[in-house]
Every structure is written in C-alpha cells, then in structure tokens.
Structure 1
Amino acid sequence: MAAWPPRTRPPATSTPTARPRTPAARSSNTPPASAVPAELHYCTPRQYDAETGHARILLATIHPAHAPKLLSEATELLAPLVQDTSTYQRSAFLHGIHLARAHMLAKDREACADVLNTLTPLVAGVPSPRCRALLRTLRTSQARRLPPPTRAAIDRALSAT
C-alpha cells in the first residue's frame, strides 16, 4: 500500500502580496476591477454592497450583541440600492425587503413601514416568486408590528397579482 504524498508548504519567500488600493477603495468592500474575473461580470460595486448588506443582517440575527452596529451598516449599504427602481426594479425590490427586515430587527417600525410603503407599488412589476414569498413572509412574521395601513397596502399588492 502506497503512502500518501507528504504535504508540502510553499517556500518561506513566497508571501502573499497585498493589492495596492486607493484611499477611496479602502473604505469600500469592492475589489478593484482588475481583480474580478471576466466570468463574474455581474460583480459590480452595487452587487457587493447588496451582498454585504444581506450578510450583515444575517450576522445580526446570529450575534445579537453586535446587532445594532451590523444593522446600522446594513441599512447604510442597502438604502441607496432601494431608491434606484428605474433600471433594476427586481433588485431594488429584493434589497428593499432586506432593508425592511433590517429596520424590523432594529425595532424601527416607522422606517420599516416607509420602506414597505415604497415597495408595494413595485409588486406588480416584479414577477419574481422569490421576492413575493419574501414579502409575504415578512408581512406574516411582523403582522402585529406593522401599522394597519401598511399591512393593507401589502395585502392589496400581493392579492392583485
């Protein structure tokens, strides 16, 4: 029976080199364009912000001690993405649902209601079952916390389609 090949380590002289970054890029989670392979053409700064915002919401649910900071950061990342409904209506809708969830987790009912009221007119233009299911789940799980007019608007939007 042959022995497994021994594990080898890279030579001590080969250390990973840091990518040069500009001061503006240091504050962002977005890697430089040269670091993104051509196959990942959809990985834009907008997409990185969305993924980072979603991840912070998930982390906030796992680590309640850090939730206020994580939810605040998620809100900062997702809020600009929700306002751009002209070109990416489905994305704005999806990010808006996550933004509303972040506001709910932060116990900010008014901000959550504002986001949901902004999203309800978009429901008819977004044929995504996933987005509708997420909105329905948020509406069901937070029914007592949402103001009655917001609940009614969500119900009308979901039933009209």
Structure 2
Amino acid sequence: MNFDALPRAEFLDRLGGIFEHSPWVAEAVVDRRPFGSLDGLHRAMVAAVMAAEPAQQLALIEAHPELAGKLARSGGLTAASAGEQASLGLDRLDQAEVARFDQANARYRARFGFPFIIAVKAQRDRRVILGALETRAEHDRATEIATALAEVAKIARFRLEALAESGAAS
C-alpha cells in the first residue's frame, strides 16, 4: 500500500489507530508526505511522538491497555490490541497466571501511574513478558517512560506492517 498516495482523509482514517487511541500522531505527519517508504513513515510517526510534549507522550502510554488485564478479559480492547494479546495466549491464561499478571500489573501501575507496555509480537513466550513486567517495575520513572515509548514505537511498526500487507491484498 502506498500511504503517500492516499487522500488526506483516508490517510488519517487508516493510520489514526496505529498508535493506540492517539490519532494525533497520524495528524502530525499527514502533511509531511511523501515518506517514500514504510520505514520513512514509521520514522516520521515516531519522531512526532518524541517531539510531543511530555504530557502528550504520557497520555499515549496511558492509552494502552494492561496486558491480560480486566479490560482484555471483558472484551474491551481495540481489535489490534486484542489480536496482539491473543497471539501469545494472553486471552487464555489459567487462574494462577491471571492472578500473577494482575498482581504484577497493579505493582507496576502503582509505581509508575501508567500501564506496562511491551511489543507482544516481538516476544515468543508469555512467561518472558511476565518476567519483563516484574523486572521493569524496578526501573526509575524516566527510564521506564523511555522504555515504554520505545515499545510503543515497536508496536506501531508491527501495526503499520500489518496495515500495509492488508492494503496490498485489497
């Protein structure tokens, strides 16, 4: 799919959800076209996030759901988040795993005030994700904000790739 060739409204419609509940990222880059490639588009979107005010960056982080959290269990995730979590079976945890994720998520949120974010598609095992959740709760706030934003960028890349592939087939 050639994102550079899309009409402005279609660009915003298709790319508005690449960053979770944050259409402002697509809005920030739409008039910077052409990007020339998917890499160029991704770099521009990540640069827009990194140039945003800290409060807007934090709002982007806070827009993400907790992994295997209550929202996921109630069916309240975006289609992209639900698919990402399901890809590692986070939607099929046993009671002990749910309890461990809930405890780790609560500890992390209490420490930082925002949800733990990791690019699930880059992982191979939900135990690795749980271990990262528990380990990253020991970071200082600035390190964890930077780590969360880096993970958001990875998630956006996976979503862009999926969108480009689905658009190429249509």
TM-score greater than 0.5 by the shorter chain: no
Please give the TM-score of this superposition, normalised by the length of structure 2.
0.24
Please give the TM-score of this superposition, normalised by the length of structure 1.
0.25
Larger Rg: 1
